[in-house]
Amino acid sequence: AQSVTQLDSHVSVSEGTPVLLRCNYSSSYSPSLFWYVQHPNKGLQLLLKYTSAATLVKGINGFEAEFKKSETSFHLTKPSAHMSDAAEYFCVVSDSPGGSYIPTFGRGTSLIVHP
């Protein structure tokens, strides 16, 4: 069975400082991992995904994430926060070799950016 835990429900940073959103996963197989972003009252947009290629994955808007199998983690980082980064972020795992491939969502981390 697959599961995902987002370790912080809220993260608060100042504009221009680094961002770290933490995600741990559990999977019995080789998982695919995703980060999505959701701005208020909008749908989700894919930031980046890991699918067993390079362990350091670069995404849109300067975000990147590193897949660490030994730590079962897939943390999302950005060197310098921008006000427009304030949003909800979801970590997602998908393995399900039985054929359904239904992804499992974390509960989300709300990123707050202070001027």
Q: What gap in Å lies between CA 109 and CA 90, rounded to an integer?
A: 7
Q: What gap in Å lies between CA 11 and CA 9, rounded to an integer?
A: 7
The smaller minimum CB distance to other proteins, of residues 14 and 45, is found at: 45
Instruction: Tell me if 74 contacts other proteins by CB under 8 A.
Output: no
Instruction: Output the smallest distance, CB 53 to other proteins, in A.
Output: 10
Q: What gap in Å lies between CA 33 and CA 15, rounded to an integer?
A: 27
Strands 104-105 and 87-94: antiparallel
Instruction: Output the smallest distance, CB 98 to other proteins, in A.
Output: 11
Contact set with other proteins (CB under 8 A): 9, 31-32, 34, 36, 41-46, 49, 51, 90, 94-96, 100-103, 105-108
